[in-house]
Structure 1
């Protein structure tokens, strides 16, 4: 497990994440709230303190406008780079 509690920072692709890690607030929220995983499971799988998982969830819910903006940025980036992906079904034709 991590040695110290981590803060939420925005120094990686301008998206909130656990300090010193590439684990984003959005990722943790998706794992716990969308996929239904227990916070302890997420912590164990990603070698972080369970407090970090709760800290990320708290941050997500304390900053709704910021998190909506992050989601819009992700969607826009996906649209902007859609032409770079390969549809596996298209390869079979």
Structure 2
């Protein structure tokens, strides 16, 4: 487990992401939220799997819930990007042997 605690960088302050993430890492707040609250993984499991301090996982979750407007904007951006690029993906039923 990582010993260093990181801070959360907002979308506006980031130079590597267009969404909030753990400073010095490419792990986003949304990623942490999806793992813990979406998939039901424990915060400790997420910390262990991604070499994070447990506190960083909790900081990311707190940021997610403390900034609902920003997180909704992030989700809308992700949905638009997926829709705009849907033509670039392959439907498994269209793949030939």
Shorter-normalised TM-score: what interval?
A: over 0.9
For 2:8, the equivalent position in structure 1 comes to 8
- Following superposition, the deviation at residue 14 of structure 1 comes to 1.2
Q: 1:19-45 deviations in whole A, cap 9, x for unaligned?
A: 111111001001111111110000000
Match of 2:58 among 49, 54, 57: 54
**For residues 15 and 21 of structure 2, what CA distance do their matches in structure 1 show?**
8
Spell out the pairing of 1:8-87 with structure 2 (5 A cutoff): 8-9=8-9, 10-87=14-91
**For residues 36 and 91 of structure 1, what CA distance do their matches in structure 2 show?**
32
Count of aligned pairs between the two proteins: 93
Query: Can you give the 5+ residue segments of structure 2 that lack an aligned partner in the other structure?
Result: none
**For residues 81 and 93 of structure 2, what CA distance do their matches in structure 1 show?**
22
Using the size of structure 2 for normalisation, the TM-score is 0.89
Using the size of structure 1 for normalisation, the TM-score is 0.93
**For residues 13 and 51 of structure 1, what CA distance do their matches in structure 2 show?**
21
Q: Tell me how large the CA RMSD over aligned residues is.
A: 1.4
Query: Can you give the 5+ residue segments of structure 1 that lack an aligned partner in the other structure?
Result: none
